[in-house]
Structure 1
Amino acid sequence: MARAVAAILDNPAPHIGKIYNLTGPESATLAHYAQVFSDVLGRPIRYNDVPVAAWSDKLREMHVPEHLVRHLSTMGDLHAHGRYDRLTDDLLRLTGRTPTSMREFVERHVAEFTRA
């Protein structure tokens, strides 16, 4: 995302009024991504589908600001209804580089996902 923002800021004129959908190189379920984490980290990682309302209530219990709870809840609802299930080449066209896959990201950041 940072590379896309940098490309736009470097020459903003051609981007005025345009909308970009910046996606990764694959569209998959959260269970798939949990499996990627499991494979790379060598330990079981499972996706647990928590209803958005219950998740939002938990965020409120943790004193997350209400505007953020509403924003995250809306994103959770949109995700649950497949609104983010799309692929574009916008990121490649903006940056000239293929987006990082989830596997590549986890492999690059194994230390951050591993307890000391």
Structure 2
Amino acid sequence: MAAEISDALHRAVGHTDVPLQEWPDNDLGGLGLPDHVFQHISTMARLHVAGRYGRQADGMAEVTGRSAAGVADFVRKNPELLTR
């Protein structure tokens, strides 16, 4: 994803690989989320790491009649969201 964003912004964008074991406690836990939300997001993260979301779906096209934008398309249309 960092490579796609870098290409869209025409500048280097880095990323930090945070081990899944550290993320819930160090980052997510400090947000003060209700326990059920914390558990849900933690579960979604584990499933993502396990590759459970590595597929495309066409629900956006079914609902709106147009395809979903990819990361690079979104960034090209909204660069101000990723610029200080």
Match for residue 10 of structure 1? Answer: none
Q: Which structure 1 segments of 5+ residues have no match?
A: 1-32
Find the partner of 2:39 among 45, 50, 70: 70
Match for residue 16 of structure 1? Answer: none
Find the partner of 2:48 among 79, 82, 92: 79
Deviating beyond 4 angstroms after TM superposition, the runs of 4 or more aligned structure 1 residues are none
TM score, norm. by length of structure 2:
0.81
Aligned: 1:56 with 2:24? yes
Q: Aligned equivalents of 2:7 and 2:55: distance in 1? A: 24
Alpha-carbon shift at residue 112 of structure 1 (Å): 1.6
Match runs of 1:33-44 below 5 Å? 33-44=1-12
Aligned: 1:104 with 2:73? yes
Question: 1:50-99: CA deviations, max 9, x gaps?
Answer: 12220111122x24323332221111100001111111223212221111
TM score, norm. by length of structure 1:
0.61
Q: Aligned equivalents of 1:42 and 1:69: distance in 2? A: 35
RMSD (Å) for aligned C-alpha atoms: 1.7
Q: Classify 1:106/1:77 alpha carbon distance in 2 versus 1 (closer, same or farther; 3 Å).
A: same
Q: Choose between structure 1 and 2 for higher RCO, CA contacts under 8 A separated by at least 6 residues.
A: 1
How many residues were matched structurally?
A: 82
Q: Which structure 2 segments of 5+ residues have no match?
A: none
Q: Classify 1:110/1:83 alpha carbon distance in 2 versus 1 (closer, same or farther; 3 Å).
A: same
**Amino acid in structure 1 at the alignment position of 2:64:** T
Which structure has the bigger radius of gyration?
1
Q: Percent identity?
A: 37
